[in-house]
Amino acid sequence: MPRPSTIAIDGPAASGKSTIGGVLARRLGYLYLDTGAMYRAVTWMALERRVDIGDEEGVTALAREIEIAITKPTVDDGRQYTVLADGKDVTWEIRRPEVDAHVSPVSAYPGVRQVLSEQQRRIGQQGAVVMIGRDIGTVVMPDADLKIYLDASAEERARRRYLELLERGEHADYEEILRAMRRRDRIDSNRAVAPLRAADDAIRVDTDNLSVDEVLKVVEGIVEDASVGVEKGITL
């Protein structure tokens, strides 16, 4: 049976979307698009240019103005892709705690979402893509061939982000990261436009007690399943 051409993977921050989506795309030979990196790039640029994060009109204008590109890795430093904002490599800068703390309000602005969603949708329509984010299966690609929702507790996701920062030799405070994670979950889930939620026909995977290899095995099994149109809302 032909594999699904468009695969949407949604879920909260640090639920494993980036890791799983990147490996899956590579194994399938598909394009990998982390849409969250685009919102992070806008947030990072706003902070760099001292645009008030609370200025919705200003941040939206910035999103329309800057050029964001996501390419295959250009540096062998563990990255899954390279993020360019107006030509500057910001791949690791957009993962810093200050971006974590401000990206949710930026991604909640309707104008910003419209600008970036249109770009993402055009890419998705080309097929052979694994696209990850928070509203891919519900808004960006509601007709995706396969929708997966990865989830994990806030505590587990904060631990992952904490270890990620330590591994890069950066200062990290677990409690601060956990507070930011919970705040982001609250904003993402309650925003008026494209709130974080699983699509009705998404297959849910709880990654709390699973290793990366175990999650990948589950997801690859879903992709290979001859019955892609499985019963809505199944939890593995």
Domain for residue 20, yes or no?
yes
Paired tokens of 218: 């589950």
- Sign of the alpha-carbon dihedral angle for 86, 88, 92, 97: negative
The closest alpha carbon to 89, from 79, 99, 97, belongs to: 79
Q: Is 230 within a domain?
A: no
Q: Are 131 and 140 within 8 A, CB to CB?
A: yes
203 assigned to some structural domain:
yes
pTM of the model: 0.79
pLDDT digits (tens, 9 = 90+) for 16-60: 998 999 999 999 989 899 999 999 999 999 999 999 999 999 999
**Dihedral angle sign, alpha carbons of residues 159, 160, 165, 166:** positive
Q: Is residue 174 part of a domain?
A: yes
Are 205 and 219 in contact by the 8 Å Cβ rule? The answer is: yes
Average pLDDT, stretch 125-142?
A: 93
208-229 pLDDT per residue, tens: 989 999 999 999 999 988 344 5
* Interval 163-190: pLDDT, tens: 988 988 888 999 999 998 998 899 888 8
The range of the structural domain enclosing residue 17 comes to 6-224
- Beta strands 82-85 and 129-133 are unpaired
Number of domain units in the chain? 1
CATH number (domain holding residue 35): 3.40.50.300
CA distances from 232 to 145, 172, 183, 235 (A): 13, 39, 29, 9
Flag whether 25 is in a domain.
yes
Q: Within a domain: residue 176?
A: yes
